[in-house]
Structure formats: structure tokens, C-alpha cells
Amino acid sequence: MHRSQVLQALLDRKPNPTYLEIGVERGKLLLPLKAGRKIAVDPKFDISWRKKLKAYLRHKSNRSIEYYEVPSDEFFAKHSATISDGIDVAFVDGLHTHEQAYVDVQNCLKYLKPDGVIVMHDCIPPNAAAAEYAMSPEEVAVRNLPDWSGEWTGDVYKAVIQLRAENSDLNVFTLDCDYGLAVVHRGPQDSPLQADVPELSLLKYQDFLARKSELLNVKQPQFFHEWLSRVA
Ligand SMILES: C[S@@+](CC[C@H](N)C(=O)[O-])C[C@H]1O[C@@H](n2cnc3c(N)ncnc32)[C@H](O)[C@@H]1O
């Protein structure tokens, strides 16, 4: 299942939902999604005017996309008034470090409506090289790692572990598709992370792999529809 299917299904639960995307790049996800209001945050957008025009003509929700060309921390510090009415669905796909992903989710939670949902991308790295801690994929590429394929998730998976361990008021599960989509929403935890939580700064990819299912509360993609029918 692709992230666009998960996000559109979440948006379709509401009339005129507000959607926030952190980390947008070329707008491949943002532009086709249909929402009442779309807010886009990225320090460097890479969306051509042609693409914007095509999207504008294709769907009315593309006629008023609000673009903020700033890092997510700056968006929340200076522009949060724009989301004071609340967010229905947020997608966190900005800087792929566990610290930033965790802060992005915490900031989204401040504006998330009570029944809102946050989806985090890149929570299941396909290999050790993809899971490298870095500020960009270019930084990992020059490390000449044996299994480097150009795919980079960073260590966002550690933010999911931290969310599960430290926020008993949140239910978090991770769909095993599209590099791992963690779904975060308010409510009782369906599978609390009780076993000893590893020290995140010391956690190695191989150790994570051995406990992936338990640490991330991994679910097969079809679980999403089951869960949605329960909460919708
Ligand atoms: C993987 S891309 C996003 C892809 C997009 N969400 C999609 O699905 O098509 C990651 C983006 O995060 C952006 N980014 C990096 N640091 C960021 C930050 N601190 N705040 C927001 N976005 C950031 C990068 O500029 C890049 O465009």
C-alpha cells in the first residue's frame, strides 16, 4: 500500500479536512491528494510552475495550497497561527533523524484535532545503510557502505520507539509497506511497549531488526482498513 492511499483514506473521513505535510520536495504526494486545505512545509521546494499549474487545473484543493519554505521548527515557531483551527491529517516526512521526526510529531500533536491522525514516513529501513544517521542522503552516499542503494530512511524508526515508550496516551502502529508508515493517534495503546526500551542513542540497526515487530508494533497493510473501519 502506498502512502497516498493511506493519507487519502484518512482525509476522506471528513468534509473539507485540513492536511499538513512536513517535507514535500517535488510535491509528488501533496499535489494529487484531495483535501479541504493543504499546508506544505519544506526548506527547499522543488516544484516547477508547470507542475503547479497542472495540479491547479486538476483539482480545486490545489488552488490555494499554502507553501511555507522554511524548516519545520521555524514553521511551528513563526507560523503556527495558520493551523490554530486544528489539523485533521499530518504527514511527517522532513529531516530523517529520530530527533527531528520526534519533535515534528510532538509539534503536530499540539495542533492535531482530537480525532486527527499523524502518519510518519520511512519508519522501516530496508537495510543498515538506509538507516544511517545523517543530515542528508548525500552524506550517507560518500560513506561507501556495502549495502547502500540510494534509499535513505535515516533513523526515524527510533522516533517511533520513543513515541511508543513515552506517550501512553497515543496509539502507534507501523504499517509494513512503503518504507514503513507509522500511524499515530490519540487513544489507548493496542500493544504497549513494556519490555525494556533500548537506549536509543546506543541502539544498533541489527539489534533493532531482531525486535522490529515489537518495537514498532508492526502491522500488515490490510490492518489499516480494519483499524479505519473501527475508528471512522
Ligand atoms: C523525502 S522528501 C519528501 C517527499 C514527499 N513527502 C513525498 O512523499 O513525495 C524529504 C524532504 O524533507 C525536506 N526537509 C529536510 N529538512 C527539513 C526540515 N527541517 N523541515 C521540513 N522539511 C525538511 C527536504 O528538503 C526534502 O524535500
Give per-residue pLDDT as tens, 152-167. 999 999 999 999 999 9
Report, as an integer, the average pLDDT of 35-57. 93
Does residue 1 surpass a pLDDT of 80?
Answer: yes
CA of 60 to the centre of ligand 1 (A): 24
Does residue 62 surpass a pLDDT of 90?
Answer: no
Amino acid identity at 3: R
Residues 85-117 pLDDT 10s: 999 999 999 999 999 999 999 999 999 999 999
Domain ranges of the chain: 3-226
- The H-or-E segment that residue 200 falls in is none
- The H-or-E segment that residue 21 falls in is strand 18-22
Longest dimension (CA), the chain: 52
Residue nearest to atom 6 of ligand 1 (CA): 24
Does residue 232 surpass a pLDDT of 80?
Answer: no
Distance of CA 113 to the CA centre of its chain: 17
More confident residue, 56 or 2: 2
Task: Return the C-alpha cell found at 29.
Answer: 504526494
Q: What's the pLDDT band for 60 if we cut at 50, 70, 90?
A: confident
Q: What's the pLDDT band for 58 if we cut at 50, 70, 90?
A: confident
Does residue 174 surpass a pLDDT of 80?
Answer: yes
CA of 26 to the centre of ligand 1 (A): 9
Does residue 194 surpass a pLDDT of 80?
Answer: no
Q: What is the pLDDT of residue 177?
A: 98
**Does ligand 1 have an atom closer than 6 angstroms to the CB of 25?**
yes
CA of 209 to the centre of ligand 1 (A): 25
- Percent helix / strand / coil, the chain, rounded to 5: 35, 20, 45
Report, as an integer, the average pLDDT of 126-147. 96
**Is the sign of the CA dihedral 196, 201, 126, 145 positive or negative?**
negative
Residue nearest to atom 23 of ligand 1 (CA): 94
Q: Which positions ≥6 away from 117 have C-beta within 8 Å?
A: 10, 88, 89, 90, 183, 184, 185
Q: What is the pLDDT of residue 64?
A: 86
Residue nearest to atom 14 of ligand 1 (CA): 94
Q: What is the pLDDT of residue 162?
A: 94
CA of 21 to the centre of ligand 1 (A): 9
Calculate what percentage of the chain has a pLDDT beyond 90. 88
| Sequence-ordered alpha helix ranges (H) in the chain | 3-11, 49-58, 72-78, 98-111, 137-141, 156-166, 205-210, 212-216, 223-231
Task: Return the C-alpha cell found at 216.
Answer: 514498532
**Does ligand 1 have an atom closer than 6 angstroms to the CB of 41?**
yes
Classify residue 197 by its DSSP letter. P
Do 124 and 176 form a contact (C-beta atoms < 8 A)? yes
Task: Return the C-alpha cell found at 130.
Answer: 538506509
Residues 16-43 pLDDT 10s: 999 999 999 999 999 999 999 999 999 9
Does residue 195 surpass a pLDDT of 80?
Answer: no
CATH class of the domain whose range is 3-226: alpha beta
**Does ligand 1 have an atom closer than 6 angstroms to the CB of 93?**
yes
Task: Return the C-alpha cell found at 156.
Answer: 526515524
Residue of 22, 24, 31, 69 to test ligand 1 pocket, by largest number of atoms within 8 Å of CB: 24
E strand map for 59-213: 66-68, 87-92, 112-120, 170-175, 181-186
The DSSP bridge pattern shows strands 18-22 and 87-92 to be: parallel
